[in-house]
């Protein structure tokens, strides 16, 4: 499971690009985590899960 403060490389769904960000939150039960990405125009957060679900 991810830990707050560690770097994580994720594919950002809304942009379709892979970028490295910093984990800023992990759900107490480990269900998901939130990564903060920094861009020239500012920062934004996106949540991810390590579980693989069928789509």
Residue 12 tokens read as 């950002």
pTM assigned to the model = 0.85
Query: What is the secondary structure of 4-19 as a DSSP string?
Result: TT-EEEEEETTTTEEE
Q: Distance between CA 2 and CA 17 in Å, rounded?
A: 20
The encoded tokens of residue 31 equal 């269900």
Mind listing the pLDDT tens digit for each residue in 1-55?
899 999 999 999 888 899 999 999 999 988 999 999 999 999 999 999 987 666 5
Q: What is the predicted pLDDT for the residue at 54? A: 60
- The percentage of residues in the chain with a pLDDT greater than 70, rounded to a whole number, is 93
- Residue 53 has a pLDDT of 61
């Amino acid at each position: 499971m991810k830990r707050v403060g560690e770097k994580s490389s994720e594919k950002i769904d809304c942009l379709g690009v892979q970028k490295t960000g910093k984990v800023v939150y992990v759900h107490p039960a480990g269900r998901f985590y939130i990564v903060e990405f920094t861009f020239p125009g500012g920062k934004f957060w996106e949540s991810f899960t390590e579980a693989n679900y069928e789509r």
